[in-house]
């Protein structure tokens, strides 16, 4: 009995010790939340990024403007120092507006299309050929003898039933469809946009050519026009030809930059915590959800620490990565520099899932690290953002992936609810107006809360 009492007392002491520090943390985290929800600048920063600069594809004038914007905003938000880290980036240009319409009927309404990123163009001669509709890669392989000399139209539908969203399932037609069709002699591909939206906006995004096959032109088509084209083809006994004109091309690599803002750690300045999103965006919209949201949320983490007078123990580095969309040159460069300087990277966090209400984090780390992170879970319940998922040594985002590969840096990826994200992703509708202030700021709150905990307790 005495022994049990003793153990009970020890346990009680332990629990109340934990309770005390958890209470202290919850007070600090509520302060973070109050400051961001009341005075947060992320939303206004997003407005300025989207409305004064807009699209900022690697190598475009928008990219350079956004880089200067980033240095300015990081400094204004309280960074001890803000600087540019140079890296070479691919320089793909869309050229003038794409056209796809019937070669046989000039009165047919042109279809709404966009060249896929990295795609070669048809040039001014264009491609004139009949179109073959293909539902999926299985059908492509079965009908490979029919493909030669034609334009392949992948009409693979986004699967709305998939609870994680149908993007991962459908995106392979965008990324590999061109080379898979070129293998069988296709002249070009038209890909149904990877989206659940019911509108007619084409959604661009990167393709990857397989160097073994000809690099044929490739475009995304708006969902409504994919249906219109499919309906036409179903009735077209003569396999009438279509004209496709696209003017995109890959120019030589050019100079770009990661934009970095730092607060130096007071106790362990050599231990670096990286928080970021990517500054580049596709060109049809304003890159608001993808990834203006992640950029301004990351900056807000730095701002809120400064505003609350909180000096981190470790060095906090906000990185606005270059060229996530079509090359990942920024993320790779950041890792290479870290390696060259023999830096110690204990944690990296990325927000690149859009500015919707946050649910929690994807945690890619060791089991021991995750056990620690999990012990903080209840601190995120007040925000309904305590859904933590774990992958041993897994990733948290494309840009911070190289840090994991090089240093086994613990990874955190912010996970937003994501029901709306792929409506806007890489399309003309990815604009400031489709991001909501409170949702965006809630994401910044939980990011800052997690950074605060890792900074305080280490990982």
439 binds a copy of itself (CB under 8 A): yes
- Shortest approach of a copy of itself to residue 441 CB, angstroms? 9
163 binds a copy of itself (CB under 8 A): yes
Q: Interacting stretch for a copy of itself, rule CB under 8 A, among 57-65, 171-179, 211-219, 380-388?
A: 380-388
Q: Which residues from 20-49 bind a copy of itself, rule CB under 8 A?
A: 33-34, 37-38
What is the per-residue burial (b if ≥16 Cβ within 10 Å, else e) of 230-252?
eebbeeeeeeeebbbbbbbebee
Residue numbers annotated as active site: 324
Nearer residue to a copy of itself within complex by CB, 227 or 384 = 384
User: How many CB atoms sit inside 10 A of residue 19's CB?
Assistant: 12
55 binds a copy of itself (CB under 8 A): no
Strand-pair category, 241-245 with 127-134: antiparallel
Give the x-and-dash track for 343-362 against a copy of itself (CB under 8 A): --------------x-x---
146 binds a copy of itself (CB under 8 A): no
- Shortest approach of a copy of itself to residue 159 CB, angstroms? 8
Q: Interacting stretch for a copy of itself, rule CB under 8 A, among 169-177, 223-231, 278-286, 379-387?
A: 379-387
308 binds a copy of itself (CB under 8 A): no
CA angle, residues 373, 377, 381, in degrees to nearest 5: 155
- Shortest approach of a copy of itself to residue 303 CB, angstroms? 17
Nearer residue to a copy of itself within complex by CB, 86 or 419 = 419
Work out which of 107, 125, 161, 235 binds a copy of itself, going by CB under 8 A. 161
Nearer residue to a copy of itself within complex by CB, 154 or 380 = 380
Nearer residue to a copy of itself within complex by CB, 46 or 398 = 46
- Shortest approach of a copy of itself to residue 81 CB, angstroms? 31
94 binds a copy of itself (CB under 8 A): no
317 binds a copy of itself (CB under 8 A): no
- Shortest approach of a copy of itself to residue 162 CB, angstroms? 9
380 binds a copy of itself (CB under 8 A): no
Cβ neighbors of 418 (< 8 A, separation 6 or more) are: 164, 165, 353, 354, 356
425 binds a copy of itself (CB under 8 A): no
Work out which of 99, 224, 384, 391 binds a copy of itself, going by CB under 8 A. 384
Nearer residue to a copy of itself within complex by CB, 281 or 357 = 357
Measured CA to CA, the distance from residue 82 to residue 74 in angstroms comes to: 6
**Token digits for 250?**
């890959």
Nearer residue to a copy of itself within complex by CB, 30 or 228 = 30
Measured CA to CA, the distance from residue 170 to residue 327 in angstroms comes to: 20
User: How many CB atoms sit inside 10 A of residue 23's CB?
Assistant: 11
Q: Which residues from 189-208 bind a copy of itself, rule CB under 8 A?
A: 196, 198
Interface ranges with a copy of itself (CB under 8 A)? 33-34, 37-38, 160-161, 163, 196, 198, 357, 359, 382-384, 387, 417, 419-420, 423, 436-439, 442
């Amino acid at each position: 009995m005495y022994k049990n009492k003793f153990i009970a007392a020890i346990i009680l002491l332990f629990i109340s010790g934990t309770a005390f520090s958890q209470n202290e943390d919850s007070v600090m985290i509520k302060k973070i939340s109050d400051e961001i929800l009341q005075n947060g600048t992320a939303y206004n920063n997003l407005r300025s990024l989207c409305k004064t600069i807009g699209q900022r594809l690697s190598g475009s004038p928008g990219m350079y403007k956004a880089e200067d914007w980033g240095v300015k905003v990081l400094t204004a938000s309280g960074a001890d120092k803000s600087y540019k880290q140079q890296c070479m980036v691919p320089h793909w240009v869309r050229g003038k507006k794409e056209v796809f319409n019937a070669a046989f009927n000039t009165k047919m309404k042109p279809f709404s299309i966009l060249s896929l990123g990295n795609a070669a163009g048809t040039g001014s001669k264009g491609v004139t050929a009949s179109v073959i509709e293909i539902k999926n890669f299985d059908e492509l392989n079965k009908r490979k003898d029919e493909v030669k000399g034609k334009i392949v139209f992948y009409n693979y539908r986004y699967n709305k039933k998939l609870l994680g969203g149908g993007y991962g399932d459908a995106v392979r037609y965008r990324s590999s469809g061109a080379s898979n069709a070129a293998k069988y002699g296709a002249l070009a591909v038209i890909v149904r946009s990877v989206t659940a939206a019911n509108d007619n906006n084409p959604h661009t995004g990167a393709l990857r050519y397989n160097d073994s096959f000809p690099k044929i032109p490739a475009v995304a088509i708006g969902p409504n026009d994919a249906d219109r084209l499919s309906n036409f083809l179903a009735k077209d006994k003569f396999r009438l030809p279509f004209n496709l004109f696209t003017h995109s091309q890959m120019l030589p690599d050019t100079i770009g930059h990661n934009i970095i803002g730092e607060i130096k750690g007071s106790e362990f300045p050599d231990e670096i915590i990286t928080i970021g999103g990517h500054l580049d965006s596709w060109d049809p919209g304003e890159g608001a959800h993808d990834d203006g949201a992640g950029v301004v949320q990351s900056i807000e983490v730095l701002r809120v620490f400064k505003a609350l007078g909180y000096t981190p123990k470790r060095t906090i580095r906000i990185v606005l990565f270059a060229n996530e969309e079509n090359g990942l040159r920024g993320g790779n460069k950041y890792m290479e520099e870290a390696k060259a300087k023999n830096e110690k990277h204990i944690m990296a966090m990325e927000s690149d899932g859009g500015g919707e209400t946050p649910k929690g984090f994807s945690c890619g780390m060791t089991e021991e690290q995750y056990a620690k992170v999990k012990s903080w879970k209840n601190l995120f319940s007040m925000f309904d953002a305590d859904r933590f998922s774990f992958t041993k040594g897994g990733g948290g985002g494309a840009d911070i992936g190289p840090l994991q590969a090089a240093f086994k840096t613990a990874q955190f990826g912010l996970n937003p609810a994501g029901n709306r994200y792929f409506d806007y992703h890489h399309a003309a509708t990815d604009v400031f107006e489709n991001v909501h202030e409170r949702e965006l700021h809630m994401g910044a709150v939980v990011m800052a809360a997690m950074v605060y905990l890792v900074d305080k307790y280490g990982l």
